């Protein structure tokens, strides 16, 4: 089968499309999926360039969207349309990546989707949507009407976090983004938006703190988030290469009012993906795709994501 292989870390040029990579051999409880689409996440290019201590050679990617080809799990049959997040996104996992014609998934990572779900671009959904959901409820499910701040609202995680906060948790949502994305974030459901280039959210909301803050950025943004976190509120940090838990340890020394710090490193979860898929099939939540690339142009897809400021996701089409 075709697969994109990284044999050693480096720039996008180390991404090599081969045509003789072995098709995964299933174990009990696993499902073989013919890939329709996958996507590029920041963790993919970070692994590729060696920011994390990955195992090589490696087929990158954990986002799965396609059709069951074979199954050793009674719950799934050939022809089922499915999506999943596998541990292929993780630097320590070296079995089945999703930058390939076929990938394998444990049954508990999968969920079936209907004809209303866009599997041809659905590979853009699993990692970012699960990250958003898991971060939002990491300190306990937000109550209806809770005030939620989403940093990086136009991005992959951010644009799902805005929608899930509104649709699933019935929250009041404030989202940050650049000047060209203010209307976009409102279209996704944000009640208020912050132009981070011209406004400081920590000043604007100094007297209107948040019950939940989802932050995939960190650094100085993280420190300012602490100043607008309500008593009993949750600061949900999303793991990335800039994560520094010492910031939280310093802050928590002064937190005597029930405020919580959570660190989200997304975990595969078919049940949660099923919830997200049902919302998408009902037209209540949508995936926004910045660009689509065929598997043959995977290097260009990586360059697009590395350039930053992607609105939504970059999707990789594996099969027609």
Question: For 310-320, how does the pLDDT look when each residue is reduced to its tens digit (9 = 90+)?
Answer: 999 999 999 96
- CA 110, CA 65: separation in Å to the nearest integer? 10
* pLDDT-above-90 percentage for the chain: 89
- pLDDT at 275 (0 to 100): 98
Range of lowest pLDDT (90-94, 206-210, 220-224): 90-94
Q: What is the mean pLDDT of the chain?
A: 95
- CA 110, CA 268: separation in Å to the nearest integer? 9
- CA 106, CA 206: separation in Å to the nearest integer? 45
- pLDDT at 55 (0 to 100): 85
Q: How far is CA 17 from CA 58, 221, 251, in A?
A: 12, 38, 46
Range of lowest pLDDT (103-107, 130-134, 257-261, 298-302): 257-261
205: its two tokens: 């909301």
Position with higher pLDDT, 243 vs 119: 119
Q: How far is CA 187 from CA 223, 241, 248, 288, in A?
A: 28, 30, 33, 11
The predicted-structure confidence for 28-39, as pLDDT tens digits, reads as follows: 999 999 999 999
Mean pLDDT of 163-186: 98
- Which residues on neighbouring strands pair with residue 263, listed in sequence order? 237
Domains of the chain by range and CATH? 3-124+288-317 (3.90.180.10), 128-264 (3.40.50.720)
Q: Does residue 224 register a pLDDT over 90?
A: yes
Contacts of 121 by beta carbon, 8 Å cutoff, 6+ apart: 37, 65, 287, 289, 292, 315, 317
The predicted-structure confidence for 43-97, as pLDDT tens digits, reads as follows: 999 999 998 888 899 999 999 999 999 999 999 999 999 999 999 999 988 889 9
- pLDDT at 234 (0 to 100): 96
Mean pLDDT of 103-120: 98
- pLDDT at 306 (0 to 100): 94
Nearest alpha-carbon partner for 40 in 29, 32, 48, 31: 48
* pLDDT-above-70 percentage for the chain: 100
Mean pLDDT of 188-211: 97
- pLDDT at 320 (0 to 100): 60
- CA 184, CA 200: separation in Å to the nearest integer? 19
Neighbours of 169 (CB within 10 A): 19
- CA 44, CA 9: separation in Å to the nearest integer? 11
Mean pLDDT of 113-131: 98
Q: Does residue 253 register a pLDDT over 80?
A: no
Position with higher pLDDT, 300 vs 258: 300
Mean pLDDT of 186-193: 98
- pLDDT at 256 (0 to 100): 80
The predicted-structure confidence for 271-281, as pLDDT tens digits, reads as follows: 999 999 999 99
Nearest alpha-carbon partner for 119 in 293, 295, 319, 264: 319
Q: Does residue 246 register a pLDDT over 90?
A: no
pLDDT confidence of 194, banded at 50, 70, 90? Answer: very high
């Amino acid at each position: 089968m075709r697969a994109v292989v990284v044999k050693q870390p480096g720039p996008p040029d180390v991404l090599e499309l081969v045509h003789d990579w072995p098709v995964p051999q299933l174990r009990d409880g696993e499902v073989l999926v013919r890939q329709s689409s996958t996507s590029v996440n920041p963790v993919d290019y970070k692994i590729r360039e060696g920011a994390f201590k990955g195992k090589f050679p490696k087929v990158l990617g954990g986002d799965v969207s396609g059709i069951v080809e074979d199954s050793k799990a009674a719950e799934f049959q050939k022809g089922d349309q499915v999506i999943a997040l596998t541990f292929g996104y993780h630097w320590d996992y070296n079995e089945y990546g999703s930058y390939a014609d076929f990938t394998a998934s444990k049954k508990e990572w999968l969920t079936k989707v209907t004809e209303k779900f866009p599997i041809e671009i659905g590979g853009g959904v699993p990692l970012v949507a699960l990250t958003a959901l898991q971060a939002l409820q990491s300190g306990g499910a937000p109550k209806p009407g809770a005030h939620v701040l989403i940093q990086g609202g136009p991005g992959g995680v951010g644009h799902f976090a805005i929608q899930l906060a509104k649709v699933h948790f019935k929250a009041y949502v404030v989202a940050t983004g650049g000047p060209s994305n203010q209307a976009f974030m409102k279209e996704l459901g944000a009640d208020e938006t912050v132009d981070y280039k011209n406004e400081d959210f920590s000043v604007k909301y100094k007297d209107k703190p948040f019950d939940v803050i989802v932050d995939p950025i960190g650094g100085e943004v993280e420190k300012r988030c602490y100043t607008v976190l309500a008593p009993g509120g949750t600061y949900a940090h999303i793991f990335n290469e800039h994560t520094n838990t010492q910031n939280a340890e310093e802050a928590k020394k002064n937190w005597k009012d029930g405020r919580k710090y959570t660190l989200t490193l997304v975990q595969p979860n078919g049940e949660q993906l099923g919830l997200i898929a049902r919302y998408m099939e009902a037209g209540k939540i949508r995936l926004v795709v910045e660009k689509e690339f065929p598997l043959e142009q995977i290097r260009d897809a990586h360059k697009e994501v590395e350039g930053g400021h992607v609105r939504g996701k970059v999707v990789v089409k594996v099969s027609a």
